[in-house]
Structure 1
């Protein structure tokens, strides 16, 4: 497959909403509920309050005219020289076809082109680990000794484990 990666903007809101709504498995595992209708808007705009809009990266992965993946990250979070990957989601029918790796490679390129980014960092919520951990490990991420309590919206208390990879 030949994919195209582009920065996502508000013009892509409908396509991004469709991608997120069509894959409720991720949302159920991480949040304990189906995706919310405004989830796409959050992916495009949410960032830590201490960071400006220039820190936000939202990439889309396209197969022809269909959005099949999204990745969002923020530069210099939680500290300088770190790019925190908040989401990498691929349409279920595109799993196992190189889409996730292609999207990740585009994030790595963004990190390498960003002044001073040395590390990629992410969290894997324990209730999503079976689906996600193997993917991230194949890409070279290793667990740190850090973990945080994660309380899903359905009240389930779990853990988010931190993983990192040098750029």
Structure 2
């Protein structure tokens, strides 16, 4: 079977030879290859046009980051460290309807930071990165209670500085709110970040008192004011206790 053969190659590269990153490419229109590589844990990094020697189709470059048996720590963020209660994985196109449903349970957020979300805007959220960062630095994550999407986190590794993680969005499904779950999850996320990261930064809409109260509760301190899409945003930061 192709999946068993590919897994054997990955085991050789990632475990026996102690590589930390494996990159592969597949023709974008080849859904069988896409499903096989996704099953093996690969994540989308970028899309590019092939050279004339390749098929006249765009290639999707994908990557998987792992830790070898030697115990040498990879530079990636280990998703299993981010929650003791929920399953954490990177979100894909297949999850967008559930993500949209979660967003729609939080209308107050979009009252302060329009426009309303759509499947098209979420598809952009999957790949949107700040200047100088790549998709390999982006962790657009879902926190799952079995088949239920509980929370969404958009985190950029190493932004705006190498020792900083940036939270672009954190949202909890409305049905799970009011129990202290959000702040508890933030604590676990921060505690689960690798030691090379020293602080976490984020921005919230200045006119949203609920957002301000939540992030202050989570230990974030005022840093500065800026405008994002003509909307006043408060930057806040928290140092990570080592």
What TM-score range do you get, normalising by the shorter chain? 0.7 to 0.9
Cα deviation digits, residues 11-55 of structure 1 (max 9, x gap)? 422321221233332122112x32233233233221114112221
How many pairs are equivalent? Answer: 156
* TM-score normalised by the chain length of structure 1: 0.81
Specify every segment of 5 or more residues in structure 2 that has no aligned partner in the other structure, as ranges: 1-83
8 Å Cα contact 1:149/1:158 also seen in 2 = yes
Shift of 1:139: 1.1
- Specify which structure has the higher proportion of helix: 1
Shift of 1:124: 1.5
Specify every segment of 5 or more residues in structure 1 that has no aligned partner in the other structure, as ranges: 152-156
Cα deviation digits, residues 89-144 of structure 1 (max 9, x gap)? 11222211233124313431442x2x52101001121122x111111111111101
* TM-score normalised by the chain length of structure 2: 0.58
Q: Which has the higher contact order (CA 8 A, sep 6+)?
A: 1
8 Å Cα contact 1:21/1:37 also seen in 2 = no
Match of 1:9 in 2: 91
Q: Does 1:164 align with 2:237?
A: yes
Q: Distance in 2 between matches of 1:25 and 1:74?
A: 24
Q: Which has the larger radius of gyration?
A: 2
Q: Does 1:24 align with 2:107?
A: yes
Deviant stretches of 4+, over 3 Å: none
Match of 2:130 in 1: 48
